[in-house]
Amino acid sequence: MPEPFLVVDHLYRSFGSVKAVNDVSLTVQAGQIYGLVGPDGAGKTTTLRLICGAFKPDNGSVMIGGYSLDHQAEQARETIGYLSQQFSLYEDLTVLENIRFLAEVRGLSSEDWLPCARENLAFVGLDAFENRLAGKLSGGMKQKLGLACALVNRPRLLLLDEPTTGVDPVTRQDFWQLVIRLAGEQGMAVLVCTPYMDEASRCSHIGFMRSGRIIQDGSPSHLRKMLDDRILELAGGPMNVLLESSHFDTDVQDVQRFGDRLHLRVLPGKAQDVKRRLSKRIHSAGGSIEKIEIIPPLLEDVFIDLAGEGMSMNDAGYGEKP
């Protein structure tokens, strides 16, 4: 297996008494999309800012393309494209002028940036709008312009901080198709923070972050297997009876509402027992059951499980953690 393009090793960063990033280690291969997910305040954005050099770590190291961010910062940064959570466009500049500004700030000559800019605008579907003022673009088009700007230096590592927050589902789909092409066709290493589990499922690897630490990582299928035979889907009515009966059962660890049905996370090996008890309890309370069965876990189920865990992952039987 080739060496990872990005290697983050035991990274720490505190702000006062708050440990924003607490012993984070991860690797991203060329052509891989690594998704960093977790609740607000988990440390995802701070981790990205440490990797791109916007913050200095208290401890730990970052290697990008074989360059140390500590000792070879200029060479390392030349390989990075970064799209922040709130990309700042100059709305009184055109699409092409925005790219030109960022390219020249990076020290690129017109011979370097202009062909690349036009290539990237065609790639993101904005080639017909290069002379339009950025302030006249839709929200989705602004995100695509942000991506085109991040690609102006032909990076080999792309850092994306919640790039589709606030855009419509169609634009999210289009944006992700571009990211998948960058990884698949151009072999780019991609590290993306996302709050959306449907986006996380598109990643080849996922790291769940909580309280500044990556508490679990693996492929989407590997992570879902952690809850195999532990998710019951319950549908029926009335909803208050279903909720009360589910919460009453001591083998039910968590109850979440998904539309008109509930997902129950149960203790290992207890799903059939819970099914039998709930069927009796709900009917005794005057409720009805349309469906109660074990289902394959969703990434949302895994996220809720990990986001709420206070124990170590070793204690929970999920494997080694940093």
Domain C-terminal end among 163, 189, 216: 216
Confidence of residue 321 (pLDDT cuts 50, 70, 90): very low
pLDDT on residue 312:
32
287 and 145, same structural domain?
no
247 and 207, same structural domain?
no
Contact 30, 200 (CB under 8 A): no
Q: Is the pLDDT of residue 217 over 90?
A: yes
74 and 39, same structural domain?
yes
Most trustworthy range by pLDDT among 104-108, 167-171, 271-275 = 271-275
Q: Does the residue 144 lie in any domain?
A: yes
pLDDT on residue 1:
65
pLDDT on residue 57:
96
Tell me the mean pLDDT in the region 171-190.
93
Confidence of residue 111 (pLDDT cuts 50, 70, 90): confident
Tell me the mean pLDDT in the region 130-137.
94
pLDDT on residue 309:
58
Tell me the mean pLDDT in the region 80-89.
84
pLDDT on residue 318:
31
How much of the chain, in percent, has pLDDT values that exceed 90?
79
2-52 confidence digits (pLDDT tens): 789 999 999 999 999 999 999 999 999 999 999 999 888 899 999 999 999
Strands 288-294 and 231-237, by their bridges, are antiparallel
124 and 260, same structural domain?
no
Query: Which range marks the domain in which residue 154 is found?
Result: 6-216
Q: Between 243 and 308, where is the model more confident?
A: 243
pLDDT on residue 130:
94
Q: Does the residue 309 lie in any domain?
A: no
pLDDT on residue 282:
96
pLDDT on residue 170:
86
42 and 11, same structural domain?
yes
CATH code assigned at 126? 3.40.50.300
Return the closest-CA partner of residue 25 out of 296, 221, 217: 217
Q: Does the residue 310 lie in any domain?
A: no
238 and 209, same structural domain?
no
pLDDT on residue 314:
31
Confidence of residue 299 (pLDDT cuts 50, 70, 90): very high
Domain count, the chain: 2
pLDDT on residue 284:
95
Tell me the mean pLDDT in the region 188-198.
93
pTM of the model: 0.88
pLDDT on residue 3:
87
Q: Does the residue 21 lie in any domain?
A: yes
CATH code assigned at 247? 3.30.70.980
Alpha helices (H) along the chain: 44-52, 73-77, 95-105, 110-124, 139-150, 169-186, 197-200, 220-225, 239-248, 271-284, 299-308
195 and 116, same structural domain?
yes
pLDDT on residue 169:
86
Contact 117, 148 (CB under 8 A): yes
Range with lowest mean pLDDT among 41-55, 98-112, 232-246: 98-112
pLDDT on residue 276:
95
Average of per-residue pLDDT values in the chain? 91
Q: Between 87 and 236, where is the model more confident?
A: 236
Distance in angstroms (rounded) separating the CA atoms of residues 191 and 144? 17
135 and 26, same structural domain?
yes
pLDDT on residue 86:
74
Q: Does the residue 68 lie in any domain?
A: yes
